[in-house]
Amino acid sequence: MAILTVEILANARNACEKLGAVDYDKPQINAAFQAVEDLLTSNATKNQINSTIDTATAPKTLSAAQKREIVKAVVLKLADRWT
Amino acid sequence: MATHRIPILGPATLPDASGDVFFEPVTIKATNDFFKGLVLVFNDSGNDDECFGRFHVPQNYVGSANLVVVWTTTAITGDVEWGFAYRAVGGNDTESLDQATAQESLLSGNNDTAPSAVNERMEYVISLTDGNFAAGDDVQFIFSREGADGGDTLAAAVRVYGLYFEYSDA
């Protein structure tokens, strides 16, 4: 588990602020960011994403680096679609 | 005895070098774009961010000195923590205008809670020590958002519309 720095948290909070009215306070949103970071970087989540991609691309198997790029692209480009 | 307020942001106002304090058009964070002009923005940086300035104590000053902060934000929860440090310099050829310390530092406990609705006018008053000021003094100050303090829980930038020196005359 990587502890998010004050600077990273500030950037994340400012990004959140741009999306609309802020109806949470700083300790709450910091804890939420840390929790999501921990979830997304946990071995269990990584393994699940890994096997999901393997299933989708079978019988071909993508490299770990390719999978990382795909996950980053999903977060960066598709997150706005999530509800 | 009447109460007066004089604006103390002006040409001598200087944000610190953090990049998290700056003057910005109202229209960037407001939504209606009708009334425009500049506001002093303090980002939610997680650090203590400062703005420097000075003002003149009016000739009819007697006491009841306060600092009044008029501000707002897009956040509707959490507290912002303000800080104010200053030194009043008076006389003619007696005191240095290049001081190294503040006369009074009010850097903690000045918390104001977020507005109940986005962009509502907020007014926060910080009590100053009357005896530190005399008519005709020039006051140099540091006004800050104490973002590193645990009391600053507001997770958004705040916009200062006005900063006033409040006092009463005879």
CATH number at residue B152: 2.60.120.260
Given an 8 Å threshold on Cβ–Cβ distance, is A10 in contact with B152?
Answer: no
Nearest CA in chain A to B79: A25
Which of B47, B78, B157 is nearest residue A25 as measured by Cβ atoms? B78
Which of A10, A16, A25 is nearest residue B46 as measured by Cβ atoms? A10
Half-sphere exposure of B167 (CA within 13 A, CB side): 23
B13 at the A interface (CB within 8 A)? no
In contact, B65 and B125? CB cutoff 8 Å:
no
Which residues between 50 and 109 in chain B have a beta carbon less than 8 angstroms from any beta carbon of chain A? Answer: 73-79
pLDDT tens for chain B, residues 1 to 170? 899 999 999 999 999 999 999 999 999 988 898 999 999 999 999 999 999 999 999 999 999 999 999 999 999 999 999 999 999 999 999 999 999 999 999 998 999 999 999 999 999 999 999 999 999 999 999 999 999 999 999 999 999 999 999 999 98
Categorise residue B37: left if φ over 0, alpha if ψ from -120 to 50, beta otherwise: left
Which of A6, A7, A29 is nearest residue B155 as measured by Cβ atoms? A29
Percentages (nearest 5) of helix, strand, coil residues in chain B: 5, 50, 50
User: If DSSP codes are grouped into helix, strand and coil, which group holds residue A56?
Assistant: helix
Question: What is the secondary structure of B98-113 as a DSSP string?
Answer: S-SS-SEEE-SS-EEE
Return the bridge partners of B72, or none. Answer: B159
B46 at the A interface (CB within 8 A)? yes
Given an 8 Å threshold on Cβ–Cβ distance, is B77 in contact with A25?
Answer: yes
In this predicted complex, what is the ipTM?
A: 0.76
Query: What is the distance in angstroms between the Cα of A42 and the nearest Cα belonging to chain B?
Result: 27
Question: What is the secondary structure of chain B as a DSSP string?
Answer: --EEEEE--STT-EE-TTSSEEEEEHHHH-SS-SS--EEEEE---SSEEEEEEEEE--TT--EEEEEEEEEEESB-SSEEEEEEEEEEE-TTTTS-SS-SS-SEEE-SS-EEEPPSSTT--EEEEEE--GGG--TT-EEEEEEEEETTSTT--B-S-EEEEEEEEEEE--
- The count of domains in chain B is 1
Structure tokens at A57: 């691309």
In contact, B44 and B147? CB cutoff 8 Å:
yes
Given an 8 Å threshold on Cβ–Cβ distance, is A29 in contact with B157?
Answer: no
Q: Residue A21: its pLDDT value, please?
A: 84
Q: Residue B91 corresponds to which amino acid?
A: G
Q: Where are the alpha helices (DSSP H) in chain A?
A: 6-17, 26-41, 43-57, 64-73
**Structural domain boundaries, residue B117:** 3-168
- Chain segment B79-101, per-residue pLDDT in tens: 999 999 999 999 999 999 999 99
Query: What is the distance in angstroms between the Cα of A80 and the nearest Cα belonging to chain B?
Result: 21
Q: Residue B72: its pLDDT value, please?
A: 97
Nearest CA in chain A to B78: A25
In this prediction the pTM is 0.88
- Chain segment A4-63, per-residue pLDDT in tens: 999 999 999 998 888 888 899 999 999 999 999 999 999 999 999 999 999 999 999 999
Nearest CA in chain A to B113: A25
